[in-house]
Each structure stands twice: as structure tokens, then as C-alpha cells.
Structure 1
Amino acid sequence: MVRVLFLGGLGRSGTTLLERLLGELPGVCPLGEVVHLWERDVAGDERCACGEHFSECGFWREVGEKAFGGWHHVDVWRVLALRHAVERTRHIPRLASVRMSPAHRLLVEEYADWYARLYEAAAVVSGAEVLVDSSKHAALAYCLRFAPGLDLRVAHVVRDSRGVAYSWTKKVTRPETDNAEEMTRYSPGHSALLWNAHNVAFSALHKCGVPVTRVRYESLLEDPSAVLRELSEFVGIDPGDMGFIRDGVAELGPCHSAAGNPMRFTVGPVPLRRDDAWRTALPGGQRRVVSALTAPLLGAYGYRGAR
């Protein structure tokens, strides 16, 4: 069985930082947002976190050979067509249902098998006990429970919705491309609705038999070692002494994260401090809108007292 820790939640919730920290633990290999690998890397040849283009990265080249006999044997457009057919937020009720039609289940299983083959190869190439996929998409996590030979565990990462909303308004350049593309931006109201949808979906995933634990972004930065120890126990590994974390700073080494936030390219010391700029930088009207739209879950996740 290939053990995969899937990091789920809405983007800008700290999943890339968590993935990088997990990647420093012995026996753990971070893969990045595998959901985007097919289009951005296999087809688009964007840069791996190691700095090389995907096609030139020795790690991913070896994974492709072992999984598919080479990436040229991957029908990217078939994978993307399957994704469109089964891996959408609106399909989650069907993915969670015991009454899924046989025809639809075959599509889900075919889609999940592409991931299972990639994970199995990555486990062999890396020699890791646990792979980390920071794809975040709730629908993908529901699909992956149909993957053969996969020991799926999910860390549901949540962050205060107002901090997430503010982050989605920022302009962020994607360094993995050669034409200075910017990452997607959302209005605070839109991101609040997405925050609700993604977090509700992950809150219900355990009902499908998938082990799920919750990680608060704020708790990660308050005591990163404690959170990493809890996650290590969750996936069944020894975290070691975590000597890469000292005095509120993490020393990060290089990795082969295939897609995701630009933070995946960072190597060296990274301060572990909360980003609460939203408290003053997000206009009061927008902050109140986000608070109102997300109030029930904010309370459920322990953010009720935040202003």
C-alpha cells in the first residue's frame, strides 16, 4: 500500500508551508499539487521546485518512466477530460453516495488510477514511507478513495476566512512560467463562498471512511513542532528531532514539488510567523462581508472571537 497524506482546504490556507515542513521529516516526500501536474507540467513543461523544467528534472523523469514508461505515454487530454467529468466540487454528493452508477464509477476509478500509478512510482523513486500531495481539491480527495492500493489520509487545513480572502486579493507572480503569469485572484465575497464549500466538503469526508485530521494554519505557526508531531503520528512515521526548526525559523532544503504556490521554490531559512495583515489591510466592509458569509464555520473552527 502506498501511503499518501493529502493536504486539503482552500488555497492560501498555508498548505504549501505545511507541505514544505513535512518534506523535511525523515521518510516523507512532498510532490506538490499533483492535480495540476498533468496540464502544467506534463503538457506545459513548467518548472519543478528544483528549478529545472519538468522534462529535465531527473526525479520526475524517473517517476514517469516507472509509472507510465515515459511521460509521452500519458494521454494528458484523457486525464483532463476525466477530471472535468468526475472531479468537480458539484460532483461531491455523487462521489460520496453509495448509489453511484456503475458507468460513473468506472470513470472515477480510471481517473484515480492515474494518480495511483504516479504515487506508486514516486514512492519507489524517492524511497519515502509517506508521499504528500497538496492538491487541496476536495473532489479529488473523494475520487482518490477509489484508487487501488492507496492508503489515503487527509489533513484538512483551515485558516481564518478573512486572512484567506485578503490573500486571494494579492497579485502573485508564478515563477515557474517564462512569461510572468499571475496567480488567480478572487474577490473577498467569492473566496468566502469557496472557503465554505471546500471546508464543508472536507468536514464530511470522514463519513466515507477516509481518515481525516484537522490542522489550523494559526496553530501550525504557533507551535510547528507540535503540529508536525501530531501529523507524524497520524500517518505512522517517526518525525525525528525536527532539528530544522529553531527559534521560530525553519531551514528548508530543495524539493521536487511539481506545482503550487511560489513558496515551494524557497530554500534556506523561513521565519514561521503568523500573517495577520488582513486585520488592517482588508477594508472593513469586505471584512464584514466575509465574516457574515463564513460565520457558522468560523465558529466551528474556533475563530469566533476574531475581529
Structure 2
Amino acid sequence: MTHRSTTTRVIYLGGLGRSGTTLLERLLGEIPGVAPLGEVVHLWARGVLAGEPCGCGAPFPACPFWREVGDTAFGGWTPALAERVLALRHRVDRTRRIPHITHPDLAEYTATYQRLYDAAAVTAGATAVIDSGKHASLAFCLAAAGVDVHVVHVVRDPRAVAHSWRKTVERPEDGRPMTRWGPARTAAHWTAQNLALDLLAARGVQVTRLRYEDLLADPAAALATLADTLGLATALPFLTGTTARLTTAHTASGNPMRFTVGPVHLRRDDSWRSGLSRHHRRLVAALTWPLRLRYGYGEAMA
């Protein structure tokens, strides 16, 4: 893959949803010089076209931060721009194109993201932005186009992820339930996304893996180590023990936690051990066993 230097460093959080990427983004976003943007891949449909709220609570079109980003990057947000990016995504940014992401429209597609990242950094006065888009295919697109991207591969026990995907959770934006998956489907997606991110690392892209469980076991140590790896400030004044104090973040899309402001107690969610049936625990464990063992999730399946 080719690389070129850019003024904005992009920290891309990859992994399957419900693995802790939003929590990690909120924590990293409290470090000076870092601007968390949410799941930028969904900004075009949910923000520009649907006008869903920013993490600050204001509707996307009315958020001063995003209005300035749009003006700086594109001369303003328009439906035509959003629809163009969505059309490009449908052609270029596809999981089936991994590991050979090549397309005549790749340069236009990734240039749009680069312009957005650069404008967001300028608006926030930051040197790095966080895109918690999760999808490995977008990470491949950015890396293939030479964007200065460092991928943080967030992984969580697949049985915990399967349990989370079965829950009924309402979207704060509109009250509608979030997508639910069965255990077998979750296991398949968990394997596909994590394998793709492992392949990205094998291609020479900067990829740092972080387990959800390790982050919650010792937040200060895990965050300081990750921040150092990413070239960020390692002082964490917002973190006291296992309590993080979160300020408002201008995130365009993502898990409901993006709206949280104030003290947050950091603790592992192990409800899957009692909430996921033994049959489903064993099913997920069997379907994911090679990568599960690779990532250190080898405890008993009972």
C-alpha cells in the first residue's frame, strides 16, 4: 500500500460493534489535541440527510462545530454531496473487496474523508482526529489511498459481543430499536471483521490491538500505553481510578454513550455469563475458536 504524509493524523477504531469502540473513543477524545468524530461512515446518511443529533445534542445541521467543518471542507453540507459519497461507498467501500481494494473511484472517495478530517482538525484545533467507523473495509480504503491512519483494533470476547447484539436497545436519536443479531450471525461477523483487521496489519499498516477486557481491568495503564503508541499526550487528568469525567463530544454517529457527559464508572460488563444461554455460549465459542484463542479468550465454555 502507498503512503503520503498529511497534516492530520487519523486514529481509526476498528472492530465489530458492541466491542467497546465508543467507550474508547470517548476516553481518547478527552486527551488534548484529539478530536473525536464518531462513526464518520454514517455521517452522510444520518447527519447530513437525516439531521440526527450530534453528540452535543444539537441537530447535525445546527451544530456549530459540524457547520464549520462542512463550510471549511466542502463549502457547506448538501444532499448532493452526501448522496455522492454514499454512492461511492456502495461501489468502493465493500467488505468483499478486501484484501484487494482497488476501484477507479477510490481516490475521490478517500479524498472526501481526508478533507473532512483536515477540516475537523482545524475547527477543533487538534492534531489528530478519531473516526470510530469500525468497518475494516474503510480502514483498507484509507490506507490504500495513503491517508496517515493508525488503526486501533478493538476486540472483545465474542460471547460477550453476541450477548450484547441480542439485547433490545433504543436509539436515543429516534427511539427506534437498534439492530439485533442472533449468536451465529454475530460469530460470523466477529470472525470476518477481526480477520480483516489482522490482514491489514500484515499489509504493513499501523495497527495496534486492544482488548476491551484489558482496558477495563486497568484503564489508566491501558490508556497511557495506547496514547504513547499513538503519539498522544499520556497525562490523563480526566481519569481518577476507575472513574472518567467526560465532556461534550461532537460525534456524528455511534453508540448511545456518545451523548454521555459527566462522571462514568469504568467496569467490565460480564452479563453474558448469566444472560447468554449455555447453548449459545458454546455455539459462539465453537464458531470463533481459532481467533478466540489467538486473542486470549480460551477459558472454559460452560
**What TM-score range do you get, normalising by the shorter chain?**
over 0.9
Match in the other structure for 1:220: 215
Deviation at 1:4, TM superposition (A): 0.6
Note the alpha carbon deviations across 1:76-107, whole angstroms, 9 max, x for none: 22211111112121111221xxxx4xxx2x21
Q: Percent identity?
A: 56
Q: How does 1:191-270 map to 2 (within 5 A)?
A: 191-240=186-235, 242-270=236-264
Find the aligned partners of 2:137 and 2:268 in 1 and give their Cα distance.
Answer: 29
Amino acid at match of 2:160: G
The counterpart of 2:154, out of the listed 152, 157, 171, is 157
Q: Secondary structure at the match of 2:78?
A: helix
Instruction: Determine whether 1:80 maps to 2:86.
Output: yes
Rate the CA distance shift 1:88–1:32 in 2: closer, same or farther, 3 A.
same
Deviation at 1:114, TM superposition (A): 1.0
Note the alpha carbon deviations across 1:25-80, whole angstroms, 9 max, x for none: 11111000000000100111000010000000000000000000000275222211
Instruction: Determine whether 1:55 maps to 2:50.
Output: no
CA contact (8 A) 1:24 1:253 kept: yes
CA contact (8 A) 1:26 1:239 kept: no
Q: Secondary structure at the match of 1:305?
A: coil
Amino acid at match of 1:298: R
Deviation at 1:22, TM superposition (A): 0.3
Deviation at 1:122, TM superposition (A): 0.4
The counterpart of 1:184, out of the listed 179, 182, 198, is 179
State the TM-score, normalizing by the size of structure 1: 0.93
Structure 1 vs Structure 2 CA RMSD: 1.2
Deviation at 1:113, TM superposition (A): 1.0
Rate the CA distance shift 1:26–1:124 in 2: closer, same or farther, 3 A.
same
Deviation at 1:132, TM superposition (A): 0.6
Match in the other structure for 2:14: 8
* Deviating more after overlay: 66-75 vs 216-225: 66-75
Note the alpha carbon deviations across 1:132-182, whole angstroms, 9 max, x for none: 10000000000011445x3100000000000000000011111123xx111
State the TM-score, normalizing by the size of structure 2: 0.95
Amino acid at match of 1:243: P
Find the aligned partners of 2:87 and 2:70 in 1 and give their Cα distance.
Answer: 20
Deviation at 1:118, TM superposition (A): 0.3
The counterpart of 1:31, out of the listed 10, 14, 37, is 37
Q: Secondary structure at the match of 2:180?
A: coil
Structure 2 unpaired stretches of 5+: 1-5
Find the aligned partners of 1:212 and 1:181 in 2 and give their Cα distance.
Answer: 34
Find the aligned partners of 2:168 and 2:176 in 1 and give their Cα distance.
Answer: 10
Q: Secondary structure at the match of 2:263?
A: strand
Amino acid at match of 2:288: T
Find the aligned partners of 1:306 and 1:126 in 2 and give their Cα distance.
Answer: 46
Find the aligned partners of 2:298 and 2:136 in 1 and give their Cα distance.
Answer: 24
The counterpart of 2:283, out of the listed 250, 267, 289, is 289
* Deviating more after overlay: 193-202 vs 109-118: 109-118
The counterpart of 1:90, out of the listed 96, 99, 116, is 96
Match in the other structure for 2:142: 144
